[in-house]
Structure 1
Amino acid sequence: MSIILDSSTKVLIQGITGKEGSYWAKHMKDYGTNVVVGVTPGKEGQEVDGVPVYHTVRRAVEKHQADASLLFVPPRFAKGAIFEALDAGIKIIVVTAEGIPLHEMIQIRKAALSMGAMVIGGNTTGIISTGKAMMGFFPYWLERVYKPGRIGVMTRSGSLTNEVTAEIVKAGFGSSSVIGVGGDPVPFTRFAEILPFFEKDPDTDAVVMIGEIGGTMEEEVAETIENGIYTKPLIGFMGGRTAPKGQKMGHAGAIITAGKGTVADKVEALINAGALVADRPSMIGTLLKQTLWS
Structure 2
Amino acid sequence: MSILINKNTRVITQGITGKSGQFHTHACRKYANGQSAYVAGVNPKKAFEYFEGIPIFGTVKEAKKQTGATISVIYVPPAAAAGAIWEAIEADLDLVICITEGIPVRDMIEVRNRMCLENRKTLLLGPNCPGVITPDELKIGIMPGHIHKKGRIGVVSRSGTLTYEAVAQLTALGLGQSSAVGIGGDPINGLKHIDIIKIFNDDPDTDAVIMIGEIGGPDEANASYWIKDNMKKPVVGFIAGVTALPGKQMGHAGALISGDADTAEAKLEIMRSCGITVTKNPSDMGRLLKSVL
TM-score (norm 2): 0.95
Residue number in structure 2 paired with 1:263: 264
User: Following TM superposition, by how much is the alpha carbon of 1:75 offset from its aligned partner in structure 2, in angstroms?
Assistant: 1.1
Residue number in structure 2 paired with 1:204: 206
Paired residue for 1:137, among 142, 146, 152? 142
Tell me the SS of whatever aligns to 1:149: coil
Residue number in structure 2 paired with 1:250: 251
Tell me the SS of whatever aligns to 2:30: helix
Asked if residue 101 in structure 1 is aligned to residue 130 in structure 2, the reply is no
Residue number in structure 2 paired with 1:69: 72
User: Following TM superposition, by how much is the alpha carbon of 1:111 offset from its aligned partner in structure 2, in angstroms?
Assistant: 3.5
- 1: CA distance between counterparts of 2:83 and 2:94? 16
Deviates more, 1:21-30 or 1:49-58: 21-30
Contact 1:105 1:188 in 2 (8 A): no
- 2: CA distance between counterparts of 1:149 and 1:246? 40
Asked if residue 191 in structure 1 is aligned to residue 193 in structure 2, the reply is yes
2:191 aligned partner, one-letter code: T
Q: How does 1:232-243 map to 2 (within 5 A)?
A: 232-243=233-244
Deviates more, 1:100-109 or 1:152-161: 100-109
Residue number in structure 1 paired with 2:60: 57
User: Following TM superposition, by how much is the alpha carbon of 1:290 offset from its aligned partner in structure 2, in angstroms?
Assistant: 1.5
Asked if residue 24 in structure 1 is aligned to residue 24 in structure 2, the reply is yes
User: Following TM superposition, by how much is the alpha carbon of 1:254 offset from its aligned partner in structure 2, in angstroms?
Assistant: 0.3
Residue number in structure 2 paired with 1:80: 83
Contact 1:126 1:179 in 2 (8 A): yes
Contact 1:151 1:206 in 2 (8 A): yes
Tell me the SS of whatever aligns to 2:140: strand
- 1: CA distance between counterparts of 2:262 and 2:44? 41
Q: What is the aligned-residue RMSD (CA, Å)?
A: 1.3
Contact 2:155 2:166 in 1 (8 A): no
Contact 1:112 1:119 in 2 (8 A): no
User: Following TM superposition, by how much is the alpha carbon of 1:209 offset from its aligned partner in structure 2, in angstroms?
Assistant: 1.1
Which deviations, in whole Å up to 9, do the C-alpha atoms of 1:112-134 show, x marking residues without a partner? Answer: 45112110111011111111111
Residue number in structure 1 paired with 2:279: 278
Deviates more, 1:106-115 or 1:31-40: 106-115
Asked if residue 92 in structure 1 is aligned to residue 92 in structure 2, the reply is no
Residue number in structure 1 paired with 2:225: 223
Deviates more, 1:9-18 or 1:103-112: 103-112
Tell me the SS of whatever aligns to 1:237: strand
1:112–1:91 Cα change, 3 Å = farther
User: Following TM superposition, by how much is the alpha carbon of 1:263 offset from its aligned partner in structure 2, in angstroms?
Assistant: 0.8
- 1: CA distance between counterparts of 2:133 and 2:169? 17
Give runs of ≥4 in structure 1 deviating > 6 Å: none
Contact 1:112 1:118 in 2 (8 A): no
- 2: CA distance between counterparts of 1:87 and 1:283? 43
Tell me the SS of whatever aligns to 1:62: helix
Deviates more, 1:75-84 or 1:101-110: 101-110
2:139 aligned partner, one-letter code: M
TM-score (norm 1): 0.94
Q: How many residues align?
A: 288
- 1: CA distance between counterparts of 2:70 and 2:288? 37
Identity of aligned pairs, percent? 40
Which deviations, in whole Å up to 9, do the C-alpha atoms of 1:5-27 show, x marking residues without a partner? Answer: 01111100001111111121122
Which deviations, in whole Å up to 9, do the C-alpha atoms of 1:34-78 show, x marking residues without a partner? Answer: 011110111111111111001111111111121000001011101
- 1: CA distance between counterparts of 2:110 and 2:192? 15
Q: Is there any run of 5+ residues in structure 1 with no aligned partner, and where?
A: none
1:119 aligned partner, one-letter code: L
User: Following TM superposition, by how much is the alpha carbon of 1:79 offset from its aligned partner in structure 2, in angstroms?
Assistant: 1.4
- 2: CA distance between counterparts of 1:195 and 1:29? 28
Contact 2:92 2:121 in 1 (8 A): no
Tell me the SS of whatever aligns to 1:260: helix
Tell me the SS of whatever aligns to 1:277: strand
